[in-house]
Chains A and B, each alone.
Chain A
Amino acid sequence: MKHIILGSACLFFALIAEAQNKVQIEFGVSGVCGMCEERIEQALDVPGVIMADWNVESKRLTVAYKTKKISEDQIHQLVADVGHDTDKVKAKDEVYANIHGCCKYREGASCSGSEGHDDHDDH
């Protein structure tokens, strides 16, 4: 047991020590629904990105990343590459054309709800 506690303590300190060159940013990304969220967050499944969380209601993407491995511009580009406009980079029309019908934010598709209903019991 002692070893586990010690081991996990070491892990925490290692993470804290490493934290200096990490940044968290937030910017707007166009999208509609949970499917878009999946796609946007999946696009940022790359080395250097620690966390990516797109909020379906506010249409804002929060990204934490390591500045030594990836830049803010690259993050915007990665999101645009899967068809979602960001504050800085607009997705190419041919990429946008391929996204799912219910995600066509430029045409005003709307799945206006939030995903926050998971906590309800349904019995």
Chain B
Amino acid sequence: MGTVRTSLFLFFILLIPSLIKGQSSFLKGKVLTEEVHDQDHSSSHEPVYIPLPGAYVRWAHDVASTTVSDAFGFFKIRKADAGDTLLVSMTGYESVGWIYGGEAYLEIPMESGVALGAAEVVEQRASTELSLLSPLDVQSLNRKELAKAACCNLSEAFETNASVDASFTDAVTGTRQIRMLGLDGKYSQIQVDNLPGPRGLGVVKGLTFIPGDWVNEIHISKGAGTATQGYESITGQINVALKNPETADPLHTNLYANAAGRFEFNSVSKHQVSRRWSTAVLLHGLTNSQLNDRNADGFLDTPMQQNYVARNEWKFIGDRGIRGEYAITGLQMNSLAGQTRAFQNGLSWSDRFKTMQESTEGWSAMTAIDRMEISAKTGFVFPDAEWRSIGTQWSFYNHRHNHRFGSSFYEGHEVFFRGNVLYAGILGNTNHSFTTGATFLFNSFDEDLKFDWNDTLAFEANVQREERVPGVFFEYTWTGNERWSVIAGARYDQHNLFGAFFSPRLHARWSVTENVSWKLAAGRGYRTPNPFMEQLGTWASQRDWYWGFESTVKPEIATNVGTNLTAKFRLNYREATLTLDAYSTQFQNKLVVDLDQSSQGIYLYNLTGESFANTAQAEFNWDLHRRWDVRLAYRWVNAHTDRIDGNPTQDPFVSRHRGFSQISYGSPFNDREGQWRADATLQWIGAQRLPLTNENPDPFNRTDMAPDFFQLNAQLTRQFSPEFSIYLGVENALNYKQDRPIIGADYGDNVVAEADFNQYFDASLVYGPIFGRMMYAGLRWGILPPAKEK
């Protein structure tokens, strides 16, 4: 009897689609949930419903019909008979059985389930995730990973990552720059919420504008990026997803202090303003007014700083697939560095900063950055065809960077505007999807330079450039097969100064087995150089700039080809991942930075000959034990650039070999979800070539190769509850310090004559830590989203 009914039932199901041909065979609908209010007084109001993404929708009789509601709560399911039951379920919500009455469109409200406190599902994802399915070689770092190194901004957040290096630009300003695939960070496209991030004149300093506590996730994509976001990606894309009104907790605050006298405050708060609008406010403040000179060379080891950054974002979620994100960011950064004797005048910080605009007693440096960013993103998903969408992205920034290093002055002003319109659709079915669109980019640079060589001799220059670049792009994604997927894209941009830029990009993934995937990436990228800001560290030296300025400026062009093999397996019954990758970047043109032609100059010229960077990396992640995670990595880099006059071809400040090991521990949670966490990262940085200084007399010369060294960072976190935790950490625990980092400083071997200082001073030859061991401590306190209660 039972079987007869089942087969009859099945017969009907099979028949239904053919019976209702001619009219739409799909039921469309939307899953909603009642908005949870922070305040009690709103409970008397009428309930407000918001879309619920990620809910499972299926017919009660057919498990195979299961579908998932999209980001806007929409779902689409093959129609069934009136009277059939539609089941809608989601973790943490009461399942709904909806008797279907034959409608074409349904709105299904869901109520959140009984709160069980600790039983609530916590996303238990590995803190660093490598996707086996995306054709892009993307590594995602979530908040858990970022919390492993509490310090502080984006340039420091990569300390626990094996793919991106962070190193100092010079020995005085404490500025860090990143390096990816053996090349400077300027060759990576850094984005914030998928919009242009640190670039242009902010390419080096820009990383310090992004506090780690503001970050929700970082996606690191090695190799050529996608074509939709511009031509600037050469070695990879780093997309920083900030906490926004959707992902932020109602309140998050962080206080940080370190032994170098740096204090930081970060906060993120969000507020649901109305049914459709929500907002988030992000604040950052940093101050450091301590004079540190641990190596007694007469120079501050860390700069004195005062930085403020504020951001406000508004998010709009409309009923019918309209979505918008609008943000404004303002920042001000001031820093002072140099010889301690320049600061021994007992002035307050603000007075001191004012007087530092002009030369001081001793050598000193001051930097002032002002920046404002505005961005707007609006997206529209067609309610009757969620595979079709239109998006617009507008971003604008106004960036001013003024500095004085000794008697060299720089004033830079950059204005950037980009509009990007994207249309996504499918070709026939969802196995063939595409994104196409157009971009307009405006970028103007105005840089004034002044070098006072002595009282009577000075050199002034002005560099101006205005770029206007319209472009179009098309990107096709094929996901026709579980084992294969391909993204093939290209963009064509017409640059007003440099003519046509054609950037093809290709990514392919092959799943060799369910747990092994092999990826290929190839692409070409372009960028225009701004060497005065890209070589920020060189300002901290007496080197003269030798560059043909506008007459010789040409775009940098490079092709990147790479491959990645990722295998997931079990080792001793526990999950492990092995990743092997190899990338090669070949430059067709490059603005070569030559620090070897003379120890008193920096020579910049266009590439003649070849320049490439080849890298190979092996990374092993192992979930050693329920509470222990291990990561081991090794990287080999060969970065080569032909320079004039037979100067060394190996790129300086790049270690050919680098080792990385990390171990993390998390104790079991107690009743209040308290936990102990400990992380330790040990890195081995192999020998690096240093620019030649052998023609300088003693003691103004250094070795041609820097020694290899170890760096150990460790952190202990005590989470008292998910709302409150404190941490204590140490950077450079082995107390490794670069030997005599500043050429021209007095390391007790002799008194440096002023003439010698003026000729040989160079604080830009930095390969390792200056400050030595540094302790830090901080706390995080916040308010979590209200528990779901019935």
**If A34-B121, A112-B56 touch, does A51 touch B574 (CB 8 Å cutoff)?**
yes
Q: Answer yes or no: B192 CB below 8 A from chain A CBs.
A: no
In the assembled complex, the CB of A114 is this many whole angstroms from the nearest CB of chain B, namely 9
Kindly specify which of A72-80, A84-92, A115-123 makes contact with the partner chain.
Answer: A115-123
Does A50 contact B91, Cβ atoms closer than 8 Å?
Answer: no
The proximity string for B residues 115-141 relative to A, scoring 1 for CB distances below 8 Å and 0 otherwise, is 010011110110001011110000000
Which secondary structure dominates chain B's binding surface?
A: loop
Residue B601, interface by CB 8 Å: no
Asked if A35 and B194 make an inter-chain contact with CB atoms under 8 angstroms apart, the answer reads: no
Point out the residue from B66, B124, B133 that lies within 8 Å of A112, measured CB to CB: B66
Q: Which one of B58, B89, B120, B124 has the greatest number of beta carbons of chain A within 10 Å? A: B89
**CB of B720 within 8 A of chain A?**
no
Question: In whole angstroms, what is the CA distance A71 to B464 when docked?
Answer: 76
Say which size band chain A's interface belongs to.
20 to 34
Q: Give the complex CA separation of A105 and B572 in angstroms.
A: 32
> How far is A95 from B95 in the complex, measured between Cα atoms in Å?
21
Is B787 part of the binding interface, using a Cβ–Cβ cutoff of 8 Å? Answer: no
Give bound CA distance, A101 to B625, whole Å: 31
Whether a CB of chain A sits under 8 angstroms from the CB of B68 is yes
A100 adjacent to B89 (CB under 8 Å): no
A-B CB contacts (within 8 Å), total count = 86
Asked whether any CB of chain B lies closer than 8 Å to the CB of A33, the reply is: yes
Complex CA–CA separation, A22 to B573 (angstroms): 9
Query: Which residue of A is nearest B53, CB measured?
Result: A122
Looking across the interface, which residue of chain A has its beta carbon closest to that of B116?
A100
A24 at the interface (CB under 8 A from B): yes
User: Is B119 a contact partner of A121 (Cβ separation < 8 A)?
Assistant: no
- The distance in angstroms between the C-alpha atoms of A121 and B237, with both chains bound, is 15
- CB-CB < 8 A to B92: which residues of A? 35, 102
A113 CA / B572 CA spacing, docked (Å): 29
Asked whether any CB of chain A lies closer than 8 Å to the CB of B21, the reply is: no
* B-side contacts of A120, CB under 8 Å: 133
User: Any chain B CB within 8 A of the CB of A60?
Assistant: no
A60→B116 CA distance, assembly (Å): 25
- Chain A residues with CB under 8 Å of B120's CB are 35
Let me know if B175 is at the binding interface, CB within 8 A: no
Contacts of A45 in B (CB 8 A): 626, 668
A4 at the binding interface (Cβ < 8 Å): yes
Q: Taking the complex as formed, is A67 at the interface, i.e. its CB lies under 8 A from any CB of chain B?
A: no
Q: B676 an interface residue at 8 Å Cβ cutoff?
A: no
What's the minimum C-beta distance from A107 to chain B, rounded to whole angstroms? 10
In the complex formed, the residue of B with least CB distance to A16 is B572
Contact A102 B113 (CB under 8 A): yes
Cβ–Cβ < 8 Å partners of A119 in chain B: 131-134
Report B-chain residues with C-beta under 8 Å of the C-beta of A24. Answer: 573
Q: Given A102-B93, A102-B94, A117-B68, are A110 and B87 also a contact pair (CB < 8 Å)?
A: yes
Q: In the complex, which residues of chain A have a beta carbon less than 8 angstroms from the beta carbon of B632?
A: 4, 8
B91 touches which of A34, A117, A118 (Cβ 8 Å):
A34
Residues of B near A97 (CB, < 8 A) are none
Chain A CB within 10 Å, residue with most, of B572, B574, B632:
B572
B659 touches A1 (CB 8 A): yes
Q: How far is the CB of B538 from chain A (nearest CB, A)?
A: 32
Given A35-B121, A118-B125, are A4 and B95 neighbors across the interface (CB < 8 Å)?
A: no
The verdict on A35 contacting B574 (CB below 8 Å), with A1-B659, A112-B66 known, is: no
What is the size, in residues, of chain B's interface with A at 8 Å between Cβ atoms? 42
Instruction: Report if B316 contacts A (CB, 8 A).
Output: no
Q: Contact partner of B573 among A1, A50, A117, CB < 8 A?
A: A50
Contacts of B63 in A (CB 8 A): 112
CA distance A14 to B130 in the complex (A): 28
Residue among B131, B626, B661 facing the most chain A CB atoms (10 A cut-off): B626
A111 at the interface (CB under 8 A from B): yes
B296 within 8 A of A: no
Per-residue contact bits, chain B 63-88, to A (CB 8 Å; 1 contact, 0 not): 10010100100000000000000010
Q: Does B724 sit at the interface, judged by CB under 8 A?
A: no
Instruction: Give the nearest-CB partner of B70 in chain A.
Output: A122
Determine the distance from Cα of A83 to Cα of B92 in the docked complex, in whole angstroms.
18
A4 and B91 contact, Cβ closer than 8 Å, known pairs A22-B573, A34-B121: no
Q: Contacts A4-B661, A102-B95: A111 and B90 contacting too (C-beta < 8 A)?
A: yes
Q: With an 8 A cutoff between CB atoms, is B463 at the interface?
A: no
- B682 CB within 8 Å of chain A: yes
Give CA–CA (A117, B70) in the complex, Å.
12
Further pairs besides A100-B114, A111-B95, A120-B133: 17, Cβ < 8 Å = A4-B659, A33-B89, A33-B91, A35-B119, A38-B124, A50-B574, A51-B574, A100-B116, A102-B89, A102-B92, A110-B87, A110-B95, A111-B91, A112-B56, A112-B63, A119-B132, A122-B71
Subset of 23 A-B contacts with CB under 8 Å: A1-B684, A4-B661, A4-B682, A4-B684, A24-B573, A35-B119, A45-B626, A50-B574, A50-B625, A100-B116, A100-B119, A101-B113, A101-B114, A102-B91, A102-B95, A110-B89, A110-B95, A111-B56, A113-B56, A117-B68, A119-B131, A119-B133, A122-B71
Q: Which residues of A contact B (CB under 8 A)?
A: 1, 4, 8, 15, 19, 22, 24, 33-35, 38-39, 45, 50-51, 64, 99-102, 109-113, 117-123
Interface on B for A, CB 8 Å cutoff? Answer: 54, 56, 58, 63, 66, 68, 71, 87, 89-95, 113-114, 116, 119-122, 124-125, 129, 131-134, 194, 570, 572-574, 625-626, 632, 659, 661, 668, 682, 684
